[in-house]
Amino acid sequence: MLKIAGRSACQAAVRLLGACACGVLAGVALSLAATVPATAAELDIREVAPGTWALIGQTEDLSPQNAGNIANAGFIATPEGVVVIDTSASKALGEAWRAAIAARSPAPIVHVFNTHLHPDHMLGNQAFPAEVLATLPATRQAMHDVGEAFNDNLYRMVGAAMKGTHVVVPATVAQAGVLELGGNRIRVIALQGHSAADLAVFDETTGVLFTGDLVFWQRAPTTPHADLVRWRESLAALAALLFRHMVPGHGPLLEDRRGIDMTRRWLDWLEATFVRAAEAGLDMNDVLALPLPDEWAGLPLAVSEYRRSVAHLYPAIERRVLGGTP
């Protein structure tokens, strides 16, 4: 969906500005003092399994109040080294996250994986040693092409808490496969669908699965770079793993498949709604005005993510119904 190469790169950047935009916040961001979780003590960090921890972000949209702390991250500490999954949304959050890791394990950080390209998961990269950063090839390319456009957008939405943040593209290509480290068998899994490349990490030893944004739980999924067919395939692949604990990309920790089910139900509902709307001849503004079913009434950000998804997904579905080639 996202065209990265050549002359369309600029185009892609521009689209992405829109992709995260909640434009009206720009002025507000600069005038409010952000309540930054400036220290590790202020982050919500939970022990998932022995030696394995998760940072739980707030199930909100980016704002000056939450300083960008809206995504989950995690780490696996072994005697031979620490594996970190995602770095949060800013230099300050990355530094607080790294301090929290150091407070829990004296071992050196040997791998930092970015699950995908979105800024709330990777703009804390600066706080970690550059030589251990790694991600999938398509994510590296996308971060290179549009990462700074994301960063600009976060400055607009989050404001002062972004101070000093810039994009650090991982130098290393992450390899799918098993990583043996300090007695843990850690599987790096290459999937896609939420974005062009989604990396999941499954620690077979502890049974902890880090899904990245392939799974949302108690927070509406985001779709700016979604490929629904591939996303559903990836959810099926995750559901087949014998995990005991799950750290979703957004939302609280889980010990079952409810997050996978909820994400799939949301995607199925979105697609069915858009196909039905296109078959009925609805224009985009009509689709934006449709009420959400009761099923999603209590889900944080359901209305705003639904509306964003209209912009992301409706044009292609509409074109299919009208009978045009892309």
Query: How many residues bind to another protein according to rule CB under 8 A?
Result: 38
Q: What is the DSSP string of 141-158?
A: HHHHHHHHHHHHHHHHHH
Report the nearest approach of another protein to the CB of residue 51 (Å): 41
| Spatial contact of 2 and 142, defined as CB atoms under 8 Å apart | yes
Within 8 A by CB and 6+ apart from 96, the residues are 37, 38, 39, 40, 42, 43, 88
Q: Helix 258-279 and helix 302-322: axis angle, to 10°?
A: 50
DSSP category for residue 43: S
- Residue 3 sits in the site that holds another protein (CB under 8 A): yes
Among 14, 33, 41, 239, binds another protein (CB under 8 A): 14
- Residue 27 sits in the site that holds another protein (CB under 8 A): no
Residues 133-172 that bind another protein (CB under 8 A): 153, 156
- Residue 225 sits in the site that holds another protein (CB under 8 A): no
Pick from 205, 273, 209: nearest CA to 235: 209
| Spatial contact of 73 and 84, defined as CB atoms under 8 Å apart | yes
Report the nearest approach of another protein to the CB of residue 30 (Å): 15
Report the nearest approach of another protein to the CB of residue 84 (Å): 31
Report the nearest approach of another protein to the CB of residue 195 (Å): 17
Residues 283-302 that bind another protein (CB under 8 A): 283-285, 288
Give backbone dihedrals phi and psi of 277, rounded to 5 degrees, phi first: -65, -45
Q: Which residues bind another protein (CB under 8 A)?
A: 3, 5-8, 10-11, 14-15, 17-19, 21-24, 26, 153, 156, 280-281, 283-285, 288, 307-308, 310-312, 315, 318-319, 321-325
